[in-house]
Amino acid sequence: MKHPILTGATAAAATAAAVMLFASPAIAATTTSSANPAPSTAAATCDRTAWPSDVQGTPSFKAGDATGDYLWHNATGFHLRVTHPGHQRVVFTGEITSSSAMSVTPFKLEKGDVARLSANHKTLVFVFSDYGYVDGVNFHTDCAATLIVSHLNVGNKALPAHNVYLGERKAHPSQVPFVLHRRTTV
């Protein structure tokens, strides 16, 4: 099945890698990460309020560490990185959906890597071809109450929850997909 956010050569590359991303009915058109506006003042303020403690703080990791998706939140927003041991090509894919609009900036993405937002800026789809280095994105959630992380894959297989590393403590979600809820008090 074609993902409505992935088109053209990107869709062909994802298909060639045997990557399936599931369509979200809310997605009608695409925007590239380079066309995203800077986060609003409210978003910058909200990024400083608390999400669950498991996702807080920057994890210690480096290029070539354990295969997986590293996701954390700090005062500058959310951060997603991928890496794996060795230098062979490994494709990481996934979808992150926010209850409010997001803005995205790339982090060390190479030609062929994709980070795209849906037309309403609430869903981020990514396809990163990683060669044992670190690829990723930084994103702001414009005061979202929830964040849903789903469709995580490595190659053509579902990424197990024990290969998802959250926050400074590298906690693992109990399953994929998983939902993060913003705490109401700090």
Mark the ranges of the chain whose per-residue pLDDT is less than 50: 1-5, 7-39, 186
Extended strands (E) in the chain: 30-32, 68-74, 77-83, 90-98, 103-107, 114-118, 123-130, 135-140, 146-154, 157-158, 164-166, 178-181
Q: Give the pLDDT confidence of 115-149 residue by residue, as tens digits.
A: 999 999 999 999 999 999 999 999 998 789 999 99
Q: What is the pLDDT of residue 143?
A: 84
Give the pTM.
0.78
Q: What is the pLDDT of residue 162?
A: 98
Amino acid code (one letter) for 52: P
Of 128, 127, 103, the C-alpha closest to 35 is: 103
Q: Give the pLDDT confidence of 43-56 residue by residue, as tens digits.
A: 555 555 678 999 99
Chain centroid to CA 104: 10
CB hemisphere CA count around 17 (13 angstroms): 26
Coil, strand or helix at 15: helix
